[in-house]
Structure 1
Amino acid sequence: MPQLEVDGAVLAYDDEGPRDGTAAPLVLIHGWTADRHRWDHQTEHFAGRRRVVRLDLRGHGESTGAGVRTIAELAQDVTALLDHLEVDRFVPVGHSMGGMISQTLALTHPARVERMVLVNSIGRMAYSRGRGLLMAASTLVPFRLFVAANIQRAFAPGFPRERVREYVRSSAGTPREVVMTLYGAMRAFDVLDRVGEIAVPTLMVHGYHDIQLPVGQMLRMAKAYPDAEVRIIDAGHELPVERPAELTAALDRFLTPGA
């Protein structure tokens, strides 16, 4: 497993697939409390024919480090890794918080982003008064209960309970400082008024049963994009693991226009 030291963190990453292809590399960016293995199905599918880069964000998975306070700072980590790997043009594929990072990359480095895929992600966190109070109250419960409650509700009804427990245990291994700081960073994230600047073709794939980031919020965002394609799948918030084959197929169609 290769690693890169970046601003007080050690980032674990995978860099797979051919280097001599004409297709821009895929850069797979996971969400809050997850890790790069959320993308196992997509990596296995695409790495046989194009370059695929995926990383554990700082403080997640096998990466170390903390201290980031904003989504923009996480985007800087991704940029540092891509610079190290000499990747210029690329296609960011971001899930949830990873989609927030992807949009930030598209806004700060527009010449480097060829296309973009947002999976269960939005451009602005928006809560009703009741849900906002509930989310604020959830931070007052014990840490492990806070993590468990947020991860359990991310899956659509009927997803195997033993697998949900597996993801809860994995997420609870993320350092408390990282979890809580980035929870605040997501709540503060807001680029909705700027997404009209993102002119590259963008695929938005969302779970119909997503109650973490409801599909209606994604649809409102999609209207502001100059070139957005929407795909809604019968799943919850964790599309990469709930419906991996369907997500991969949607990516395949988007990445091979005219095929």
Structure 2
Amino acid sequence: MPQLEVHGAALTYDDEGPREGDGVPLVFIHGWTANRHRWDHQMTHFARTRRVIRLDLRGHGDSGGKGVRTIAELAEDVTALLDHLDVERAVLVGHSMGGMIAQTITLDQPERVERLVLVDSISRMTYSRGRGLLMGASTLVPFKLFIAANIRRAFAPGFPREQVRAYIKASADTPRDVVMPLYGAMRAFDVLDRVGDIRVPTLMVHGYHDIQLPLRQMLRMAKAYPDAVVRIIDAGHELPVEKPAELTTALDQFLTSAEK
């Protein structure tokens, strides 16, 4: 596994596929407490014909590093990796918090983004008063219980329980001093008033049963984008693992339409 040292963190990444394939590289960015293997299906499919890059974010998966507290800091890590790999322009694909990172990069460095794909992600976190109180209270319970509650509700009803338990265990391995600050960073994330400046073609793929980042919030975001295509899939918040083939198809169609 190749690694890159960035601001005291060893970032683990994969860089696969032909360098002279069709189109610019794809860069996959996972979400909160997840890791780069959320994208296994997409890596296998797209690396046959084009360059595909994915990473474990700071403090996640096989990457080291602590102390990250903002989405912007994670965006700096991703762009540092792109600089290291001599990637001047890419298609950014981000799931959940990864979509927040992808939007941040697109707003700050629009010249580096060919297209944008947001999977179960939003531009502004919005809570009702009741849900806000519930989410705030959830941080007061033991750490492993906090993780379990958040990951369990990320999957649509009917997803195999043994697989959900495996994802809970993997998420709980993410250090607390990475998990909790980034939980706060996601709750505070708000670029909705700026996304009208994003001019690149954008695909938004969302699970119909997503209760972590509800569909209505994504649709409000879509209205603010000048050039957005929306796809709704019968899944929860964890689309990359709940319906990987359907997500790959949606992404493939979006990229193919660009290359005709």
Quickly name the TM-score band, shorter chain normalised. Answer: over 0.9
- Letter of the 2:9 partner, please give it: A
The answer as to whether partners of 2:19 and 2:51 remain within 8 angstroms in 1 is yes
CA distance in 2, matches of 1:98, 1:162: 25
CA distance in 1, matches of 2:110, 2:61: 29
Secondary structure at the residue paired with 1:141?
coil
Equivalent residues, number: 259
Shift of 1:240: 0.1
1:106 corresponds in structure 2 to 106
Mapping 1:160-179, distance limit 5 Å: 160-179=160-179
Mapping 1:136-151, distance limit 5 Å: 136-151=136-151
Cα root mean square deviation, aligned: 0.7
2:15 corresponds in structure 1 to 15
The one-character-per-residue Cα deviations of 1:107-127 (angstroms, maximum 9, x if unpaired) are: 011011000000000000100
- Letter of the 2:116 partner, please give it: M
Normalising by structure 2, we get a TM-score of 0.99
Structure 2, unmatched stretches of 5+, are none
- Letter of the 2:88 partner, please give it: D
2:129 corresponds in structure 1 to 129
Normalising by structure 1, we get a TM-score of 0.99
CA distance in 2, matches of 1:17, 1:181: 34
The answer as to whether partners of 2:93 and 2:116 remain within 8 angstroms in 1 is yes
Mapping 1:1-259, distance limit 5 Å: 1-257=1-257
CA distance in 2, matches of 1:184, 1:137: 13
CA distance in 1, matches of 2:143, 2:62: 21
The answer as to whether partners of 2:69 and 2:182 remain within 8 angstroms in 1 is yes
Secondary structure at the residue paired with 2:113?
coil
CA distance in 2, matches of 1:126, 1:119: 17
Query: Percent of aligned positions with the same letter in both sequences?
Result: 79
Shift of 1:22: 4.6
- Letter of the 2:17 partner, please give it: G
Shift of 1:21: 2.5
Larger mean Cα displacement after TM superposition, 66-75 or 165-174: 66-75
CA distance in 2, matches of 1:20, 1:205: 28
The one-character-per-residue Cα deviations of 1:150-206 (angstroms, maximum 9, x if unpaired) are: 000000000000000000000000000000010011011110000000000000000
CA distance in 2, matches of 1:39, 1:78: 16
CA distance in 2, matches of 1:186, 1:10: 23
- Letter of the 1:151 partner, please give it: I
CA distance in 2, matches of 1:20, 1:44: 17
Superposed structure 1 runs of 4+ greater than 4 Å apart: none
The answer as to whether partners of 2:33 and 2:174 remain within 8 angstroms in 1 is yes
The one-character-per-residue Cα deviations of 1:4-37 (angstroms, maximum 9, x if unpaired) are: 0000100000000011135110000000000000
Structure 1, unmatched stretches of 5+, are none
The one-character-per-residue Cα deviations of 1:190-229 (angstroms, maximum 9, x if unpaired) are: 1000000000000000000000000000000000000000
The answer as to whether partners of 2:69 and 2:178 remain within 8 angstroms in 1 is no
